[in-house]
Structure 1
């Protein structure tokens, strides 16, 4: 076939068929799971979607190669390779390549991305990406006369419109499931959503909206340590009734309380933004650390993670900046964020201090590498990045061990704060979002919040206060936005933006 010249029409159809066979099993698995495929209407919908998928992709490929065969080949090769990667993650982790997932991908650092590497990933890239790309590169394609091009385009558009209007009765179902269908259609899931992501990024406020000035109302030395968890779901904390003892230390500590809470989103950037802002909005308002720093509060940010909104403070420290002063095996894990923290607090010349510790303890898929060996309380554990290959028991054991390690870190923060006798102190732990561990065949996080399972948005919200500092309101349920107003209350900072209803303290 390579030796003969191929008509663009034939080549576009061949490429569309290969694209359909290689990359659309997840798409049609979703369709079969959500329509009555035994009914006449269901059969018509499925046949129409198959035909529409083949014709639409062939039509776009035809346009690309008619305009420029070189550009067409380059884009098609790129599509096949990226499709192979995307479908691997869809099949392995149950993700949907929507705009929020694109945001996750574009905010992923090399360290996190490399943890997903597997032999199967490489094999699928070669089989479904590289090998078809060789064929595409070597294919000899003939030009199309302008008249024939215009006739083909016109007839194809007419056919597509006829098919779309013939399925008018199914528009409601398609609209209802449009985000999922769009997130599984290759290559349009990522091409369209990358465009949407950058469009929305560009339209956001280029400069954060400043909040009204605040006033510090007393000279009492006070410190709040805000620990932002990563991918921690409340149902695996024994404090929330989990049958396995994942909180052996916190459960024995006095003055430790927990609230029911849901995250604003199922991915880090939006979850962290929600924790740090005064209200859940799409605008870029001044976040808590920036606001307090601007109003003469000592703010220290230590992180082993990423994805936060822009932080404008003096003491912003990444984990690698702390490591030179850290000794011991624990420095390879999130415990490194605690090294020298009390000394830094005591060295401050200000009476009001906010510490933010942005951890990465429960981030998958390499759960078993997120904690020191002595915290492997539950065995056997999953050591593979291909989570679907592990048993449910192995996967949950590895994840539960990250919660045990989180329990240790939080207890250590509390013990350190107890040493600061001159300070009224509080520790608030809240996760950015939850995590799926194979339930409904989903893994990790990132499903749109409107359709996400509870595992991805039910999060822990844990509070400790030093003796005689504050008491809690009898709230049972809170939100991530409660953090902003509760910190202002604890540090006794007055502001017109303050909302008493969003404060957890009496």
Structure 2
């Protein structure tokens, strides 16, 4: 036998043994092995976050770590025993492997927590936004964390058992795992109780349990809302009487996307990212809090009378909004969208989207917000009476900040010209983000100029962003953190008001008074009532204490 032949034979023998390797196990045992893998390999962000709290240090640190490990393993194994059944066990587990690997990537790179609101954002996003998050940086993590386990899973043979025996075995495992989870929790109660009580958000880092539980919660809540009675708002709404020769009133309400107060030039940011607004007579509100840290939460919240304290996703999902109240009063509304829809706020009302209609200046990755002004004059002319037109921006939506500003407004360099923020320095990320803020400034200035040219309406413009954004502070990027732990960069937003001379005179708004009011704390809770107050819509829903114009007009 030649020297070359022997190694070839050994290699072939190893390949043959690998091909013949087909371990057999029950779905219960598969669930246990999968839970162990998830707990060790896919939950590194969770373990890092726990270590950062300091709860695992000191004399009892090792015991607390062991108890927590067993608790997480047992709970996830319990969940997998519920999910994995029969022929669907392997496909379901394969999906969970990919989801867990992907979640581990986003939690590690962007500091994301997969709570119910975050998962709802993902489920409701459109293909274009989702595509921006599927950067090449995701591939290595998924390949490492999901690739090998998927190959192993493909070789496993699931043992078939009689239904009665399988059910009895599954029940036994569920009881055993519940007992193990309870025992580990009790054994480490003194250390773990304080950890989980003071850091409740940590549970949103345990994957894939976080994704499964959040998805089930969303499905249950939205199912109930879909079959519940629709909440009607403001059937008593009427517009206060005005002289017959009074001009119609027009409000352009610009809903920004992902613009944070900290990078807003009018708020004293080191860069003047709002140069055109600074040269206008618009009034800037310097201390404004968002209702949530995501569009899915903030948009319905700011258009409801309930406010942040009364926010209830299930109730808002099947409720009329501020726009419906205006329609009941005879004020025509139109939603013009350059985003992923109005999240139910404009359900059943006039709606236009740059993503479905013919537009100019748009490419494969969407349109710059300036397209929202195309045909705006014509849209105003189509309605002779009072009206509110909402312009919903794509704004500074990440991670592809570099796509949000036209070339003529790209001022700060070097920029981050990729969807994968991990490939850029923080300076590059901030530069691209600030260019996007310049684009919002340009849009608002152009909209004000358009309204100022019209002398057939008493007009006003209100701008407010839906939520802020993290740009690398403390390792956090993007938005959507649970509100309780979210930094101000995700909760503080800009707000601007502009009134035409006709509107200011008709409503007798004192500019100096409004400027003083703009220096006080404001929030999304005030939008609903401020719009009603500005347009003099009378309804029992109106609360003057949340109307920013109430103390400065008659």
TM-score by length of 2: 0.84
Residue 393 (structure 1) aligns with = 427
C-alpha distance in 2, partners of 1:382/1:31? 32
Moved more, 18-27 or 258-267: 18-27
With 184-193 and 1-10 compared, the bigger mean Cα shift is at 1-10
Using the alignment, how far apart are the partners of 2:355 and 2:458 within structure 1? 30
The answer for the alignment partner of 1:82 in structure 2 is 99
Q: Hey, what does 2:210 align to over in structure 1? A: 189
> Residue 184 of structure 2 is aligned with which of 163, 178, 199?
163
Paired residues for 1:423-502 under 5 Å: 423-468=457-502, 469=504, 470-471=509-510, 472-473=513-514, 474-475=516-517, 476-502=520-546
**Paired residues of 2:74 and 2:178 also in contact (CA < 8 A):** no
Aligned partner of 1:418 among 452, 457, 460: 452
CA distance in 2, matches of 1:153, 1:102: 27
Aligned to 2:285: 258
Question: Aligned with 1:481: secondary structure?
Answer: helix
Question: Would you say the 8 A contact 2:64–2:192 is kept in 1?
Answer: no
Task: Work out which of the two has the higher radius of gyration on C-alpha atoms and give 1 or 2.
Answer: 2
State the Cα deviation string for residues 164-201 of structure 1 (Å, max 9, x = none).
Answer: 21122135324325642321112111101111112222
Q: Give RMSD over aligned pairs.
A: 2.6
Q: Deviations over 1:450-487 (max 9, x none)?
A: 11111000011111111251335432221112222222
CA distance in structure 2 between the aligned counterparts of 1:97 and 1:328, rounded to whole angstroms: 32
* SS in structure 1 at match of 2:454: coil
Task: Pick closer, same or farther for the CA change 1:327–1:73 going to 2, 3 Å.
Answer: closer
Secondary structure, aligned partner of 2:234: coil
State the alpha-carbon separation in 2 of the partners of residues 379 and 261 from structure 1: 29
SS of aligned partner of 1:489:
helix
2:143 matched to 1:134?
A: no
CA distance change for structure 1 residues 52 and 328 in 2, over 3 Å: closer, same or farther?
closer
Q: 1:437–1:444: 8 Å Cα contact kept in structure 2?
A: yes
Aligned residues of 1:381 and 1:398 also touching (Cα < 8 A): yes
1:111 equivalent to 2:128? Answer yes
**2:69 alignment partner in structure 1:** 50
The 2-side partners of 1:485 and 1:151 are apart by: 57
State the 1:332 CA deviation: 3.1
Contact 2:255 2:392 survives alignment (8 Å): yes
Q: Which residue of structure 1 aligns with residue 237 of structure 2?
A: 214
Structure 2 vs 1, CA of residues 307 and 248 (structure 1 numbering), >3 Å: closer, same or farther?
Answer: same
Query: Is the deviation greater in 37-46 or in 307-316?
Result: 307-316
| Contact 1:64–1:71 under 8 Å retained in 2 | no
3-state SS of 2:416 partner = coil
Q: How does 1:51-66 map to 2 (within 5 A)?
A: 51-58=70-77, 60-61=79-80
Taking a change above 3 Å as real, the CA distance of residues 89 and 166 of structure 1, as seen in their structure-2 partners, is: same
C-alpha deviation, 1:155, in angstroms: 4.9
CA positional deviation for 1:60: 4.9
Is the alpha carbon distance of 1:11 and 1:245 closer, same or farther for their aligned partners in structure 2, counting shifts above 3 Å? Answer: same
Residue 315, structure 1, aligned to residue 336, structure 2: no
Structure 2 unaligned segments of length 5 or more: list them.
Answer: 1-17
Aligned 1:30-45 pairs, distance under 5 A: 30-45=49-64
Residue-by-residue CA offset, 1:325-363 (whole Å, 9 max, x unaligned)? x4699993111011121222133221x111100101100
Give unpaired runs (5+ residues) of structure 1. none
Report the Cα distance in structure 1 between the residues aligned to 2:447 and 2:216, rounded to whole angstroms: 42
Contact kept, 8 Å, 1:323 with 1:336, in 2: the verdict is no
